[in-house]
């Protein structure tokens, strides 16, 4: 695939479409609560002390892991909002929590990254 844009929705959609065509199935964008349930379920199958699985994964578990790995490689925000943790502001109760971007972040933080994606992945001469 070469360079991969991870911020521009248009570029992400294009990459996802090509991946799905190659794989022969649609990738699923799970909401945070479903991802948390899957992570808890999969954590129970993994022995932290021995650094190995307690049992073989089911086809459904393998498919979830593949789905999330692939989406994470093409869509940074999908990954960050589900798997990154940050220290929360005291106004939000403090402690660790999931990254949640506000609308203002899209223009101030994500916007320049989208523009960089588009410039760096545009065909020569555009």
Which has the closest alpha carbon to 4: 67, 69, 75, 65? 75
Lowest-pLDDT range of 71-75, 78-82, 93-97, 113-117 = 113-117
Residues 6+ away with beta carbon under 8 Å from 37: none
Residue 99 has pLDDT above 70, yes or no: no
Q: Note the Cα 5 to chain centre separation in Å.
A: 13
Lowest-pLDDT range of 21-25, 50-54, 83-87, 119-123 = 119-123
Give me the residues paired with residue 98 across strands: 85
For residue 25, name the pLDDT band (cuts at 50, 70, 90).
Answer: very high
The reported pLDDT for the residue numbered 98 is 64
C-alpha span between 113 and 126 (Å, rounded): 18
The two three-digit tokens of residue 123, written as one number: 């065909």
Residues 63 and 76: beta-carbon distance below 8 Å? no
The reported pLDDT for the residue numbered 27 is 98
Residues 6+ away with beta carbon under 8 Å from 52: 46
């Amino acid at each position: 695939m070469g360079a991969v844009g991870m911020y521009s929705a248009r570029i992400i959609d294009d990459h996802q479409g090509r991946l799905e065509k190659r794989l022969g199935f649609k990738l699923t964008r799970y909401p945070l609560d479903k991802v948390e349930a899957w992570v808890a379920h999969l954590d129970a199958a993994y022995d932290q002390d021995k650094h190995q699985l307690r049992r073989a994964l089911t086809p459904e578990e393998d498919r979830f892991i593949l789905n999330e790995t692939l989406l994470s490689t093409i869509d940074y925000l999908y990954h960050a909002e589900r798997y990154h943790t940050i220290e929360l502001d005291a106004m939000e109760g403090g402690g660790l929590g999931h990254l949640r971007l506000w609308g203002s972040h899209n223009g101030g933080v994500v916007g320049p990254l989208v523009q960089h994606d588009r410039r760096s992945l545009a065909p020569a001469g555009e």
